[in-house]
Each structure stands twice: as structure tokens, then as C-alpha cells.
Structure 1
Amino acid sequence: MIPSLTLEKNKTYKYEQVLKKALKYFNGDEMAATTWMKKYAVKNEDGLYEETTPEDMHHRMAREFAKIEDKFGNDTSHENLSEYGKTRTNLTEEDIFGLFKDFKYVIPQGSVMSALGHPHMIASLSNCVVVPSTYDSYGGIMHTDQQLVQLFKRRCGVGVDISGLRPANAKVSNAAGSTTGAVSFMHRFSDTTREVAQNGRRGALMLTIDIAHPDVEDFVTIKQDLSKVTGANISVRLSDEFMKAVVEDKEYTHRWPIDAPIDEAKYVKIIKAKDLWETIISCAHKTAEPGLIFWDRQHWYSTSSVYPGFENASTNPCSEIAMQGGDSCRLIALNLYSFVDNPFTDKATFNKKKFYEVAYESQRLMDDLVELELGHIERIMDKIKSDPEPDHIKASELATWELLYNTGKIGRRTGLGFTALADCVAALGHAIDSTEALNAVDEIMRTKFEAEFDSSIDMAIQRGAFGNFDPEVEKTSEFVQMMEKEFPAIYKRMMENGRRNISISTVAPTGTLSMLAQTSSGIEPVFMLGYKRRRKINSAADDAKVTFVDDMGDSWEEFDVFHPKLNEWMKVTGETDINLSPYAGSTAPEIDWIKRVELQALVQKYVTHSISSTINLPEDIEVDKVAQIYIESWKKGLKGITVYRDGSRSGVLVSSDDKKEKTEAEMQEADEKALSNFSKSFGVTSAPKRPKKLQADVIRFQNDYEKWMAVVGKIDGRPYEIFTGRLEDSFNLPPFVEEGWVIKNKIENGENRYDFQFIDKEGYRTTIEGLSRSFNKEFWNYAKLISGVLRHGMPINYIVDLVSDLSLYDDNINTWKNGVARALKRYIPDGTVAADKKCPSCGDPNGLIYEEGCLNCKSCGHSKCG
């Protein structure tokens, strides 16, 4: 294990000093420089930097990896080693640094870059964890909730399956008499994620449910209201049984417990499979959720799930790692672009020898990383034991880390992936959806497979196989059956000697890493080849290049920003017409989706885990086409895939390109139509009549050092009225209350009184009379005005801007105003274009859209949350 890190007084640097050096390192790429500074550069307790460029980070990581290489050594005397294994020399710190340097060959993923060797941080090196499926009791639900908190705070993303919770209205032996069902607890886990993911902490959650569960339709549809379960991704585990029923248009039987034979299940529900399938696809088309996981393929085409005790329970938040509850995985990516010799020329070739050697060594680094993680978990457990909390309070946290430690030590799960596939293929001169590209990728994946399995088998000989290796169990794996057929020599050597790691490879999303490496991301095609960026300039300067002057008289330079490797193509070829490049017609919205599925199926063949992958489709794509993609993906043997319709939901870059140039006549017709619509709609509106009882959300937040609360009454999920103010004793709801009802009553003098009702923990309805008592009268009157605007249909993003722009006369009311804006932002549909669309960072005049209450630029990634 790694020893505890000794805190030393290191030289420190201020923000401006580091920014200057980081900008130079990234050749002026401000986004890459500031992202690295924010996420990965070591800072001390005072917020001062101890690293100035990624080179410092790469030295930091190389030192830690070298300790493990020195610990295990490199005994090449074993006769059963691979040919390369017999001749290699032990990796030194300098060798490892050479692999990391400039993000050229090997890129450890985020948790490793931020936490490994960090003297001031006690955090996990695992990118993803799956916790045991939630036990069917309130104690079990609370236990899962606590596990999420403890893992999020150590920088882990988490997956949890809720299929074990009994369905809605099932009998329970407590005061409620019946349960609210599995789906009702999604809100708790989602809110926990959002609560922890503040002030620099990290929270990422995947919730899954099996298609057999009777509550699955409620699970599938819950996020069609974009204000619900905002802290989690959701996916459905689809069985072959269900998919065959869909294709053959047959009935399907839900059951609970989900793994019980139908005739022994406590709850059974028969449905028409195609009806449920159409609901699932409609939701995926509309909002890109739920994700679909082909669960039988996840299990059988696996080297780990076939082992007793290692059966997959759920996946991590991005779905590329399925594993049992109580296990975790660390990630490293190979930069495929760097293995292309003479890129973008007629002499371009992929250097298979270099790639094999680096992939082999990277799998060793992956196993070293397991050992480093065990050391980090020991530090975490030592920290927990030394905490002043009573033992009974910290028992659950300690048990969670002990479970991850023991499981990690037995299975030694790794996740070696890659990035820059699109750039690699383009550098070889191929369109990514071409037959030539598929052939090239097949060769690359076969080489990677050979290298990483040779490495893991050699480590089994030198270091010992993972704890439960069993040739008889191995034979039940469809993945291993593929090995026997296509890689007989490797298969034979593995069956004789075992392998070091229960599961080896994956394809994870690499968005931030690719930004730092300045490449395409993971398996994905390039989304956009470029965009226009604007920069304010001094027009009087000698070298000023004024593109235009705005209404305020400010001068701006406008220039094109291209995908980094497209710039390389321009330099190599001397061409400036991007339509002549190998990227032309190969962006995410343009490629043939059938070829895209084929590409993923081809890569999946050689990957022991799964693949994080997205098919981008135009906004006007039909629902049937989405269904066709998913059916084809299942037939091709994919373990899962995500389909994003342009603009359907947050997380999708929305293209700002005009679909086509309009003629003058078409523009005139459009103007006349807009005026006609305006004249029809500009008039007196009629607000929907307020029912006596209105569903409401309770939103808590802090303004400066004061605790505030908003109660937002809704009709059909849209805000109808809002009450906001400081929390006071007269109306201080219990912390668990997140929703309820606002009830309007007449009192004796004829005035209205608003009461608040909620359901307590035991299922009883509790009513607090006089909601208005808690709020300052001036705040109350302002809220009535805003509520009037809400119920008369003004778009919520405009209301947020209206409230934010109010000029009020004292600090208390301005604080209240900020609270109202923050409360209402969560109801702005993701993808809504901001009223002022211009990005302050890149100057894109149509760049800003709302995503999860934040303003994000779809061009440059600039983000601002209020």
C-alpha cells in the first residue's frame, strides 16, 4: 500500500501566475487552462496553487505509480510470459511521466488527476461506484441514502438499482399500511445528490430499475416533468424476454420480487409489451431519458458478472461500467490520435507496435492504480476512525469503504479505455462512418485487446491472479467464448495462468480529458467542426482588426474557432476549405446512424465492460426512427446506447447553423406571419382559475448567511404562484418536506388565507395554517405581483430576467429578489434560449441556453449559475 502522505511546505502561486503559465502550456486555450486549474491543479488549504501546469501534475502522478512498479518489480524469468513480457524492462518514474506528458499517450481520468498524490485531499481514485441494491425497508432506504452522501463527498459517481423496493400500494407493516412504491424514493436520492454536489463537491447518480418491476412505467415517465429527479440519470434494465415480446408483439408479465418465478411472485401484472415500449421510446424521444440498458447482454457478455458475488446490479452514471453492488472502478484512457504516423497525409499509418506496447504498459498502470486506490481507501478509513463522531454514527460510512476495499482487492477491476477515435480515423484519411474506418477500428481494437489481456495474464503470473479466477466459470462467459474462437493462444494462456483483473476494459466519456488533450471525445464523432468567436478589442491599437462595431460603439474582432485537429489538417495540407477534410459529413448530427450502431457493436466485441455512447439526431426525427435505432442496437448486441434528439434536453450541444438560406420572399412571408401571430396573441389573457388546493414544491436555499425558503404552487407542473422569504419559527417546515399543497381558504373578514399541507413521515396529512404569517408583508405583496405574471403565461425565463433586473431600494428586498429568481430558474425547460442570448465569454450572439437552471453557452461551454 502507499504510505500516508506527508504534508510539506511547498512553494505556492497565485491565480494570475498559474493562469499565465497554463495559458502558455495550452497554446492560449483559455477554456483548457482554466478547466485544468479548477479541477486538477493542487491547491493548499488557503486556496493557493502548488502546481502551475499539467506537467507538475504529470510528475506528481508518475511518482505515485512508480512506487507500485518498484514494489512489484519485473520478474521476466517465467516461461509462460508473453513475448513482449519476456523482453520488457520495468517502468521507471521517467518512463511513466513520458507516457503522461502533454496528454500524448496515456491519460488517467479525472479522479486520478485530481486526487493521486494530493497532499491536502483525502479522496477516492475511483471514478465510479455501484452500491448494493436498496434493501426493501425504510432502514434500507436510509442506508443507501447515507452511502450516497459518503461516496459523493469523496469524489465518486454512484449507481444504485431500486428494483428491490416493493411496488406502489403493496402492504407494509407500519403506520401507513401500504407503500408509496419504489419510484417515490427517487426524489430522496436525487435531492441528496444535488445537496452534496455544492461548494466544489461532486455528485453524480444513476438510478436503474428492471423492466420486470410493476412500477417501471412510473419510473420511465417521471422525468418528463423536467423539474423532477434533477439530480440523477435514469435507465431501464431491459431483458431479452421483454425485447422479444416487443418485437413479436406479445404480452409481458411484470413481477415482484423481480427474480422470482412468475408463479411464486408476490405481485404480478400482465401488460402488452409494445404499449410499454412505445411509452419508453416516446419519453426517450422527448427528453433523452430513460436510457436503455440491455441487461442480459451486460451479464453474459462479461468477464465479471458471471462470477458468483460479482453479478451486475447497476451501472455508473454514464453507463460504461456495470458491476455488482459494493465495487468500484478506476479509469485510464489511451489517446488514439497520437499513434497515427504522418497524420492527414497519403503516408498516414497506425503504429500498431507502439500502440501494443503502450496499451500493455497502461494495463499494468491500471493494476497499479487498483493498489493505489486501496491505499487511498486505507487513508479514508483512518480518517473516519479518527473523526470525533461516536462509533455508531460513523459505522455505516466505515462499512461502505471496507466493502469497497475488500471487493476491490479480490476482483482488481480496471477500466482501460480510449479517446480521440474520431481524430484517429480522420488522421488516417477516413470518414468515421465509412467501411474503411470500420476496418481500421477493428484492427485497432484487436491490438488493444491483445495487449491488455497479454498484460493482465503476465501480471497474474508475476503478481497473482484475481481472487476467484475459475476456468469453469470463465467458460460460461460469452466474451470468453469469443476469445476461445478468435484469440485461441491468448485464451489457452489465460486458462492455464489466470489473469490479474476480473474485468479489464471500457469506453468512458472523456469530455474534460479531451478538452485538455485537444482531441475528439471517447468513441464519439466530432459534434461541431467550428464556431465563430468574438473578442472586444481596442480599435486604436496598431494591430486592431475590427470586424464590426456594436450599438454601444465597442469594436469587436470576429474569428473562426475550429476543432483542434481540424486545424492540424489545415496546417498539414494547406487547405482552408473544411468541406475537403476527412471530417466533412462526419460530425455527430451528419453520420449514418446505422453505421454508428455498427461502429459501437464492433468496439463492444473487444470490451469487457460497456461503452458510453450517444447518437445525435436532428430535432425533427420521428419517434419511430428512435425506436428503430434501439431495436437495431439490441439486435447488434450492444449493451446500451443513448439517443439525443437535437434540443431535446440539457447536455446536448444545439447547433446554431441555419438549416438553409431563406429567399427574400420567404423572409417576407415569415415576417408577415410573425406579425399576424403577434396581433392575434397580443391582448388580454385569461389566467387558469386557481383550484382550492394547489400542488406545491418547497425550495430551500441560502442568501448570503440567511436561510430562505420558497413555496411554489403549480398547475400541470408550471409555477402558478410563489411565496418566498426568510425561514422563521412560525413557519419552519421539517427538513424532509419537499412538496405538499397550498390551500386557499376564506376567513371571517372575507380575506384569503393560504395554508400549507404536507404528508409526514408516517403518512399523515399535516396542515400549517397561515402561510402568509411567515413572510414579510412587503415581500408578500411583491410575490403577489410576480404570481400574477406567472399565471398569465409569461415565459419563465423572461420572468427570471424581469425579477433579476428590478432596481430595489434596500439590501433586504434585493436579497429577496435574488431568492425569487433562483427559485424560479429550476422551472425553465432545459434548452430554452436566454432572453439575452449573447455569451459574455465567446461573444456568440445566440450562445446562451438554460440547462438545469444555469446559463450555459452551447458554443464555448461558458457557464453561470445564480
Structure 2
Amino acid sequence: MAATLVGKSKINIEQLNKDIEKFPQVHSITEDMKIAHKGVSRLVMLDRYAFKDTEKKTLKTGDFVVLTVKEDPNFPARGLGFITEIIAEENKVKILVEEEYKHNLEKPEEAETGIVTRSLDSIDKPLEIYYEQIAKRNASGLAAVEETEEKRQESFEQFYEELSSLNFVPAGRVLYGAGADTDVTYFNCYVMPFVKDSREGISDHRKQVMEIMSRGGGVGTNGSTLRPRNTLARGVNGKSSGSVSWLDDIAKLTHLVEQGGSRRGAQMIMLADWHPDIIEFIISKMQNPRILRFLIENTNDEQIKQLASEKLKFTPLTESETAMYQGILNYKNIPGYGGFSEKIFKDAEEKLAAGGNYSVHKSEFLTGANISVCLTKEFMDAVENDGEYELRFPDVENYTKEEMTAYNENWHEYGDVREWKAKGFGVRTYRKIKARELWNLINICATYSAEPGIFFIDNANDKTNATAYGHKVVATNPCGRAA
């Protein structure tokens, strides 16, 4: 078995099996292996789940590798190829990219030849190129807990039968981690407890999120326990920067933490519909200037107008830009339009009418996470009845020393202003809003930017069996929201 075609790749299997001998976690390729997948499925398997020679101990010319074919800082594209040359003194390699990934190559010389130069640090050499290899590693890892060799072998065979026949396909973190002898998690996603409303509590939460993501897990966070913007923080005699700013800080971890394989983390960040920062939370994620202008022109709620205006950025045309656009329009009544299209004329007219260009402030805000609003039954009733809805939070500014102690120790255990009030603690209503105004804001933003999602948290708690164990639903991970 000197070489074989896997997908459209000609891989030297004999040499690869010699390389595999250096890694006890990896199973050699055998004649009966046949599941290599195709297209995106093949790339995902090799890039995210296959065991790799991360130290590049066996890397050599001719090796099959995973690489970043499009080096875009925001939207990179991965692909597959073969090493044609190793330039060790420059820490670089030349790679012949497989045909189906060449369309992502942006430099003309790369697109023409299919050969790219990349840093050694940016490529990976997969040692598992068949799904059966992953299945064997997983089966070995899952069976390892058995106490006797006989039982381990029996469990291995049972696991492998189900996995290799695709009767059962584990979650991605299991595929990547089981049997790999690494410290990654076997769970794809986690939901965190409510955040404790203190600098120490936020720091601890952030640390746990970072740890989970570094081990391959996605995270769901409900920030409804964090006090609203400008609320008094008596311990330092200052004002809170608000829940949304702290949640953005947590969301940034997605961009900072690189996980096992090339998989970036995923975060879901939620805020309750009753939280006074809910409008800021929704609007701060909006990246579309047209929708912000639409909100300003069409909403009857002054806070929505104000926050949309703060998010919207306007840059006036310079004198030369004004002259340029006017010069374009001067050709509109000339036969042939001076070579300009109708779209260019329309764009020039819009720029001159507006007097400038619209964009958004803080375009990266909360982009490290999906966001969702936790919707209560009371809010939905208010929407249905066209009523007002109270935005409220524990009245920390007026608590006694004893009440503040109780807040610091217990508020994050409840995380629901309704439960907190029922316990006899003071709750401040920051404002009232027409429920349909907030509902329309959610729907407009979700329609034009797919954010926020909605999560019917009361319904979730009514239907969960977690209550039988004394628990409740706090949030959901990124996979569990409604979009």
C-alpha cells in the first residue's frame, strides 16, 4: 500500500504509517479503511478532529497538510495541499494547494500555479486521514476506563463497531479528544452559572470561560445579574460601566483563545428582557447603519433613538469628495453616461443627499459571541396586550448594609428580579417601555442582522427536568438558542 487516493489526494500511505509509529495514540491505516468523506466534511474531519503531528517531528517534502489558504484576519479559509519545499531557515514551506481550494487564493501568482508559501507555524499535518482511524482512537480512549484488559478489549470492539459503521457519531470534542491523551474536554458546550455582580465575580467567571474555551468547549453566559450602567458602586464610590461593557469583555475571549485543532470557540451571551440595559445590549451588536437610521426615524421610544444615534457614526464628505460625486452626476444627461452605471449615479446621489458616509461606532463590539434575549411570560403577555413593561433591577443604591451583604452573597444564586422581589428585597424600576417597542426592536435587528436570538426562559424552566434536582435553566449554549 505504497500510495492511495483519498478524495482527490495521492498520499503515500506506507510512509505515513511509518510516521504514525511515533505516535501511540494513532492507529495505522489498513486496507479495510474507506471512509475519507468529501468536500467540506473531509476538510472539517482533517482540520478539526484528526490527530496531528503538532510538533512537526515527521514533517517532510511530499507530506499532506492542512493550511490556511486565504489569510484574511476576519474570514480566513482553510484548505488542503502537499508540501513541495521546506525552507527551514525562514521557517516557511511551499505547498501545492488541492484544486478545490484554489478559488480562495487571492494573489495572482498563487492562483495561477496553486503553489503558496506559508509559515511552518500555520500548517498542520494530519496523521488520521480515514474516519476509521479516529473511530479506533475514540474506541480505545472510551474503553480505557475498564478495569481489566479483557473488558477493555471487549468495550473497544463494541465502540468501534458502532463508530465505524456510523451508527453513532460523537460530538466534535469527543472525536478530537477521546484517546488523544490530551487535556481537552469531552463536552462541546457549557452553560455557566449566573455571574456574581462584583469585580472578583466577573474575573472568576472570565477565568472559567477562558479555561473552558482553551480546552475546546463553547460557553453560554447570562449576564442579567450584572448591575446596569451608571448604577452606584458604593464600594468605590463610583458608577458601574454596565452589564453590556462587561459582557463585551467576556465576548472578546473568543478572539483571544485558540482551541484544539483550528476550531475557534463559540459563545452565547444572554440578557433578560427585564434588565435596564436590554436596549443597549440589542443595539450595541447592530452593524448595519441603514437599520440604525431606520430605528431613529421610526421608533417612538426616546431611549431607542438615543442609543441608535450613539451607535451610528457619520463622516461628512470632504470638499474633494463632494466635487467628485457632483462631477459624476454631471455626466447623467450625457449620451453614454460617461461610462458610469446607474448604480454609480444612484450612489453619488445618495452620498450628496446625505452629505457624508454612515458607519457604526465600535464595530467589533460583542462580535465574539452570539447574543440572545431571555423572554419571560410577563413580557410576552405585555406584547400581546399592547401594555407597558418594567425594566428593573435590585435596588442596590438604597440597600442597607445587611441587604447589601445578602445581595453580594445570594443575588447571583437567583438571577431573576421577580424571584428576588418575592424574597422581600427592594427592586427599582428604572423605566417603563411599551412592550411592543422592545419586541419590534428585537425583530427588526434579528431580521436584518440575525441578532439577537430569543430564548423563552420561563418555558424552558417549565419543561426541564432539572427542577427535580433543585436546579433551573440559566441560559443556553450557542447551539440551543432560537434564531
With the shorter chain as reference, the TM-score category is 0.5 to 0.7
Residue matched to 2:459: 297
In structure 2, what is the Cα distance between the partners aligned to 1:296 and 1:156? 26
In structure 1, what is the Cα distance between the partners aligned to 2:154 and 2:385? 55
- Report the CA distance shift for 1:256/1:306 in structure 2 as closer, same or farther (over 3 A): farther
* 1:57 is the counterpart of 2:134: yes
* 1:25 is the counterpart of 2:39: no
- Report the CA distance shift for 1:122/1:255 in structure 2 as closer, same or farther (over 3 A): same
In structure 1, what is the Cα distance between the partners aligned to 2:238 and 2:32? 61
C-alpha distance after superposition, 1:650-684 (max 9, x if no partner): xxxxxxxxxxxxxxxxxxxxxxxxxxxxxxxxxxx
In structure 2, what is the Cα distance between the partners aligned to 1:30 and 1:249? 50
Residue matched to 2:271: 209
**Which amino acid in 2 is paired with 1:108?**
P
SS state of the match for residue 197, structure 2?
coil
Residue matched to 2:176: 114
Contact 1:162 1:182 in 2 (8 A): yes
* 1:38 is the counterpart of 2:198: no
- Report the CA distance shift for 1:32/1:275 in structure 2 as closer, same or farther (over 3 A): closer
Residue matched to 2:161: 98
Contact 1:22 1:52 in 2 (8 A): no
Residue matched to 1:221: 283
Counting aligned pairs with the same residue, the percent is 30
SS state of the match for residue 239, structure 2?
coil
In structure 2, what is the Cα distance between the partners aligned to 1:22 and 1:196? 38
Residue matched to 2:388: 251
- Report the CA distance shift for 1:49/1:200 in structure 2 as closer, same or farther (over 3 A): closer
* 1:261 is the counterpart of 2:421: yes
In structure 1, what is the Cα distance between the partners aligned to 2:155 and 2:45? 26
SS state of the match for residue 108, structure 1?
coil
In structure 2, what is the Cα distance between the partners aligned to 1:22 and 1:234? 46
- Report the CA distance shift for 1:30/1:252 in structure 2 as closer, same or farther (over 3 A): closer
1:413-812 matches, within 5 Å, as: 641-642=482-483
C-alpha distance after superposition, 1:608-664 (max 9, x if no partner): xxxxxxxxxxxxxxxxxxxxxxxxxxxxxxxx521xxxxxxxxxxxxxxxxxxxxxx
Contact 2:269 2:372 in 1 (8 A): yes
Aligned length: 290
- Report the CA distance shift for 1:302/1:230 in structure 2 as closer, same or farther (over 3 A): same
Listed as ranges, the gaps of 5+ residues in structure 2 are: 1-18, 57-124, 288-362, 395-416
SS state of the match for residue 200, structure 1?
coil
Residue matched to 2:243: 182
The CA deviation at 1:129 is: 1.2
SS state of the match for residue 261, structure 1?
helix
**Alignment counterpart, residue 205 of structure 2, candidates 137, 141, 144:** 144
The CA deviation at 1:57 is: 1.0
The CA deviation at 1:160 is: 1.0
Residue matched to 1:851: none
In structure 2, what is the Cα distance between the partners aligned to 1:254 and 1:93? 55
In structure 2, what is the Cα distance between the partners aligned to 1:168 and 1:93? 55
Contact 2:36 2:129 in 1 (8 A): no
* 1:130 is the counterpart of 2:191: yes
C-alpha distance after superposition, 1:563-600 (max 9, x if no partner): xxxxxxxxxxxxxxxxxxxxxxxxxxxxxxxxxxxxxx
In structure 2, what is the Cα distance between the partners aligned to 1:227 and 1:147? 23
- Report the CA distance shift for 1:215/1:23 in structure 2 as closer, same or farther (over 3 A): farther
C-alpha distance after superposition, 1:798-855 (max 9, x if no partner): xxxxxxxxxxxxxxxxxxxxxxxxxxxxxxxxxxxxxxxxxxxxxxxxxxxxxxxxxx
Contact 1:22 1:53 in 2 (8 A): no
SS state of the match for residue 211, structure 2?
helix
* 1:314 is the counterpart of 2:323: no
C-alpha distance after superposition, 1:507-539 (max 9, x if no partner): xxxxxxxxxxxxxxxxxxxxxxxxxxxxxxxxx
TM-score using structure 1 length? 0.31
In structure 2, what is the Cα distance between the partners aligned to 1:12 and 1:51? 13
Contact 2:142 2:178 in 1 (8 A): no
The CA deviation at 1:220 is: 1.5
Contact 1:153 1:202 in 2 (8 A): no
Residue matched to 1:231: 368
In structure 2, what is the Cα distance between the partners aligned to 1:246 and 1:91? 58
Listed as ranges, the gaps of 5+ residues in structure 1 are: 1-8, 75-89, 320-639, 643-866
- Report the CA distance shift for 1:97/1:22 in structure 2 as closer, same or farther (over 3 A): closer
Residue matched to 2:225: 164
The CA deviation at 1:202 is: 3.4
Residue matched to 1:11: 21
The CA deviation at 1:132 is: 2.0
Residue matched to 1:407: none
The CA deviation at 1:30 is: 4.1
In structure 1, what is the Cα distance between the partners aligned to 2:224 and 2:381? 21
SS state of the match for residue 285, structure 2?
helix
**Which amino acid in 1 is paired with 2:390?**
T
Contact 2:48 2:262 in 1 (8 A): no
Contact 2:190 2:219 in 1 (8 A): yes
The CA deviation at 1:267 is: 2.1
SS state of the match for residue 37, structure 1?
helix
Contact 1:160 1:207 in 2 (8 A): yes
Contact 2:47 2:262 in 1 (8 A): no
In structure 2, what is the Cα distance between the partners aligned to 1:41 and 1:203? 18
1:379-390 matches, within 5 Å, as: none
The CA deviation at 1:207 is: 0.6
The CA deviation at 1:186 is: 2.2
1:395-406 matches, within 5 Å, as: none
In structure 2, what is the Cα distance between the partners aligned to 1:230 and 1:33? 28
Residue matched to 1:718: none
SS state of the match for residue 124, structure 1?
coil
Contact 1:153 1:201 in 2 (8 A): no
Residue matched to 1:173: 234
The CA deviation at 1:252 is: 1.5
- Report the CA distance shift for 1:254/1:202 in structure 2 as closer, same or farther (over 3 A): same
CA RMSD of aligned residues (A): 3.2
**Which amino acid in 2 is paired with 1:282?**
I
- Report the CA distance shift for 1:208/1:256 in structure 2 as closer, same or farther (over 3 A): same
**Which amino acid in 2 is paired with 1:245?**
A
The CA deviation at 1:149 is: 1.2
In structure 2, what is the Cα distance between the partners aligned to 1:34 and 1:123? 21
In structure 2, what is the Cα distance between the partners aligned to 1:251 and 1:306? 34
**Which amino acid in 1 is paired with 2:55?**
D
In structure 2, what is the Cα distance between the partners aligned to 1:292 and 1:117? 37
C-alpha distance after superposition, 1:97-134 (max 9, x if no partner): 121114x2100010000001103x21111111122211
Contact 1:182 1:215 in 2 (8 A): yes
Highest RCO, 1 vs 2 (Cα 8 Å, sep ≥ 6): 2
SS state of the match for residue 51, structure 1?
coil
In structure 2, what is the Cα distance between the partners aligned to 1:26 and 1:56? 10
Residue matched to 2:326: none
Contact 1:222 1:228 in 2 (8 A): yes
Contact 2:242 2:277 in 1 (8 A): yes
In structure 2, what is the Cα distance between the partners aligned to 1:133 and 1:297? 19
In structure 2, what is the Cα distance between the partners aligned to 1:315 and 1:297? 13
**Which amino acid in 2 is paired with 1:55?**
E
Residue matched to 1:681: none
Contact 1:22 1:33 in 2 (8 A): no
SS state of the match for residue 271, structure 1?
strand
